[in-house]
Amino acid sequence: MKPQDIVAGKSSLWIFGYGSLVWKPDFKYRRSKVGYIQGYKRRFWHGDNFHRGNDELPGRVVTLIEDDDASTWGVAFEVTGPQVEESLKYLNVRETVCGGYVTKMVDFYAEGESQPPVQALLYIATTDNPLYLGPASAEMIGCQIAMSRGKTGHNLEYLLRLAEFMRRSCPHVDDNHLFSIEAAALTVVSLLLAAQ
């Protein structure tokens, strides 16, 4: 289903970010809240040959994998009025440029609020995406991230900013997948620097 179909006739929309959107939304929004969604786990299983890598050495960015027992922390952004159409237009280019993405509406639970969840739009790269790389060890993913760079910047920046967000905004959440890849990537970087 296209995002425009999901939000037809709505004057406001929440958009959930779990990757680079947590620190770089690049669209106007009314407000944002840290919180989580249930039923998904964040994984560095999606390749990126534009923003954080290239055709020869694709970077790795996060996508979500369905898991009934998991939750994923991130940021939800509320867009209102003309921001709804503007943000969707922007995100459709940013998130779906290569195809193989789906959009879903999910329940978003804001941290520290006793309010019921709100519905939020979510972009997920699927296994149908030609750049879907799938699982690998933390060491393999960390090495790939440490060596990749794209038009938006170094893949390591993406990883470190996401880890920084989790430590700063969600210090009570242990994201072992994220932090083990961060440790592996930093080990590769330190070895490369020592070899110079």
pTM above 0.95, yes or no: no
For the domain that residue 190 is a member of, what is the CATH number? 3.10.490.10
pLDDT tens by residue, 113-137: 889 999 999 999 888 888 999 999 9
Across 168-173, average pLDDT: 97
Give pLDDT, residue 73. 98
Supply the range of the domain harboring residue 108: 3-195
Distances 137 to 69, 173, 177, 184, 193 between C-alpha atoms, Å: 21, 21, 10, 10, 23
Domain count, the chain: 1
Q: Are 38 and 107 in contact (CB under 8 A)?
A: yes
Residues annotated as catalytic are: 95
Report whether pLDDT(40) > 70: yes
Per-residue pLDDT, 97: 63
Tell me: pLDDT of 18 over 70.
Answer: yes
**DSSP string for 53-69:** --SSS-EEEEEEEEEEE
